[in-house]
A and B are shown apart, each in its own frame.
Chain A
Amino acid sequence: MEDLTNIPQFTLELFGINLVFNTHTLIMTWIVMLSLILFGFLATRKISFIPNPFQVVAELFVQVFYDLTKDALDEKMVKKYFPLICSLFMFLLLSNWLGILPKLSEPTKDLNTTLGLGVMGFFIAHHAGIKKKGFKVYAKGYFEPIFFMAPLNIIGELAKVVSISFRLYGNILGGAIIILVVSHLIYSLILPPFLICFFSLFIGTIQAFVFTMLTLVYISVQVK
């Protein structure tokens, strides 16, 4: 039960500021990134008409997410935002699945990872909105329907970041805690594999997709 609150950290003092690194999360994030780079390399090394297994999987991802992006954005913006959407999904999917391997844990179990991705999506969406509509029209959106609604509109925008990141974090952490507690109670007999199937593989896939789609839809709401 001690695993629940124990976070391995590394503190670096620099010019009087304490920089704290969650070492475990960082290592897991790097494992995910390296596996994705390896996957990208294997999938594109020998592109041929008769594809190798990696190319088939890569083509599947590209096809599905290209269509989804095309539904939400204009033809011109698809080329720009599709790589982001597709790689975001692949990163989250692998992150959420990482916990099924022994000794490894999901980097998305740490709020810092999901909050970082949420803030990234927020800035990308607002940047796209300002670029498309111009700053004046963009800023005017906050004063609708009446001017004194502006503070609440701004809080509402910030609440989107909170909700998108806590949703992923809560689901993955919740799954991990439930697996831990139930395994502890029944001495790891029979049940844990089924729980891992449900929480890591099934819920993990759904939440990765939800996070990606919400990022895409937030961009789409800003540019339309």
Chain B
Amino acid sequence: MLSDIATITNLASYAGAGVCIGLGAIGAALGEGYTAGLANQAISQKRERSGDIIKNMLVGQAIAETAAIFALVVAVLLLFVKMPSDSLLKAAALFGAGICMGFGAIGSGVGSGFPGGEACMGIARQPVMSGRLTTNMLIGSAVCQTPAIFSMVVGLMLMFMDFSKMPLYPTWAALIGAGVSTGLAAIGSGYGGGKAAGASCEGIARQPESLAQVTTTMLVGQAVSQTPAIFGLLVSFILMFKSFPESAALNSSMALLGAGICMGFGGVGPGIGNGLTAESAVKWVARNLKATGELTRTMLVGQAVSQSTAIYAMVISLVLIFVV
């Protein structure tokens, strides 16, 4: 039954679609729940601004849902687009695409809930700034989506690129590894970036004149928190585009799969850690505007040190790809 290539390709695309939207639904729901919770608290503090707060909450939730919508698009494509079934590699690629987008949507979904909630609280605290707060929230949560965008890029490339000329062993492992690498590495970065964006909304509400510096520090902090996801993207690109010599031995396949898993898990912690650093830096820029330069530099140096674990993971995955 299973010997038929078309059946296996279908099986992989259905399983991939299930994994994709199943995992992808986790993050956005958590993020939106957080936003709604803080919106309730904000309304109880300032009942007369409930219209503004509800409007802001809905906009924030809509942005937080983007990651889940990306996952939905990939799942629908996996279910309904007819894939060429001339090689078993397509099956591996489709399953890899599902894993990649599914995991990749978790972090960004949770993360972009933070700025939404903090912006609602900010409107209750400083009603005059509601327009500026919504703009800052939009910028912060759009940057939070970057890791999810990376996962979607890798997912779509896995689905639509033609791998049929490659040898089946060990390329199947490289394709699944490519999906795991970006997918897992995106979790930490999305969550971390959201923390920084939340702190910036809170900071602007506390001290409105700090708007420009807070937004700039937030963007730099978020950008550096995304570095682990970018390492994941790099490893995925190498795994997808490098052509590996055919070998029936299992160890070369496992090395490539291991490279993806290594970079994926290695990126989770540094992403969250960098986000926490950025959160504190943004928070204190808002309270002590004069120290912006020192705070930004300290944040960057601290993030570089906490990123070294992601660099260890990247070094090991490159060794697994090129040396072993």
Q: Given contacts A4-B157, A170-B150, A170-B230, could you give 17 more A-B pairs where the C-beta distance is less than 8 Å?
A: A68-B216, A72-B293, A152-B311, A159-B311, A162-B231, A163-B224, A167-B230, A170-B153, A175-B149, A177-B156, A203-B142, A206-B139, A206-B142, A210-B220, A210-B223, A217-B297, A221-B297
Most buried by B among A4, A156, A210, A214: A210
Q: Is the CB of B308 within 8 A of A156?
A: yes
Question: Contact flags (1/0) for B294-324 with A, using CB distance below 8 Å?
Answer: 0011001100100110011011000000000
8 contacting pairs across A/B (C-beta < 8 A) = A5-B161, A160-B304, A166-B233, A173-B153, A174-B152, A178-B153, A210-B143, A213-B223
Please, which residues of chain B bring their CB within 8 A of the CB of A206? 139, 142-143, 219
B252 at the interface (CB under 8 A from A): no
Q: Is the CB of A214 within 8 A of B223?
A: yes
A1 at the interface (CB under 8 A from B): yes
Please, which residues of chain A bring their CB within 8 A of the CB of B61? none
Q: Is the CB of B300 within 8 A of A217?
A: yes
- In the bound assembly, the distance between CA atoms of A220 and B156 in angstroms comes to 38
B146 at the interface (CB under 8 A from A): yes
B227 at the interface (CB under 8 A from A): yes
Given A159-B314, A171-B149, A173-B153: A72 touches B230 (CB 8 Å cut-off) = no
A209 at the interface (CB under 8 A from B): yes
State the Cβ distance, A118 to closest chain B Cβ, in Å.
11
- In the bound assembly, the distance between CA atoms of A167 and B161 in angstroms comes to 22
Chain B interface residues (CB < 8 Å from chain A): 73, 77, 139, 142-143, 146, 149-150, 152-153, 156-157, 160-162, 213, 216, 219-220, 223-224, 226-227, 230-231, 233-234, 292-293, 296-297, 300-301, 304, 307-308, 311-312, 314-315
Question: Contact flags (1/0) for A52-74 with B, using CB distance below 8 Å?
Answer: 00000000000000001001100
Given A217-B296, A217-B297: A178 touches B149 (CB 8 Å cut-off) = yes
Q: Is the CB of A163 within 8 A of B311?
A: no
- In the bound assembly, the distance between CA atoms of A72 and B231 in angstroms comes to 27
Please, which residues of chain A bring their CB within 8 A of the CB of B153? 170, 173-174, 177-178
Q: Is the CB of A155 within 8 A of B315?
A: yes
State the Cβ distance, A46 to closest chain B Cβ, in Å.
31
- In the bound assembly, the distance between CA atoms of A224 and B298 in angstroms comes to 11
- In the bound assembly, the distance between CA atoms of A203 and B152 in angstroms comes to 15
Question: Contact flags (1/0) for A148-188 with B, using CB distance below 8 Å?
Answer: 00001001100110110011001101110110011001000
- In the bound assembly, the distance between CA atoms of A206 and B297 in angstroms comes to 21
Please, which residues of chain B bring their CB within 8 A of the CB of A213? 216, 219-220, 223
- In the bound assembly, the distance between CA atoms of A166 and B154 in angstroms comes to 13
CB-based nearest B residue for A145: B305
Please, which residues of chain A bring their CB within 8 A of the CB of B139? 206
- In the bound assembly, the distance between CA atoms of A152 and B157 in angstroms comes to 32
Please, which residues of chain B bring their CB within 8 A of the CB of A1? 160
State the Cβ distance, B162 to closest chain A Cβ, in Å.
8
Q: Is the CB of B296 within 8 A of A163?
A: no
Q: Is the CB of B234 within 8 A of A171?
A: no
State the Cβ distance, A9 to closest chain B Cβ, in Å.
16
State the Cβ distance, B155 to closest chain A Cβ, in Å.
10
A135 at the interface (CB under 8 A from B): no
Question: Contact flags (1/0) for A69-94 with B, using CB distance below 8 Å?
Answer: 00110000000000000000000000
Please, which residues of chain A bring their CB within 8 A of the CB of B142? 198, 202-203, 206
CB-based nearest B residue for A158: B311
Q: Is the CB of B150 within 8 A of A152?
A: no
Report the 9 A-B pairs with minimum CB-CB distance, sorted nearest first. A174-B149, A174-B153, A163-B227, A210-B223, A166-B230, A163-B230, A170-B150, A213-B220, A1-B160
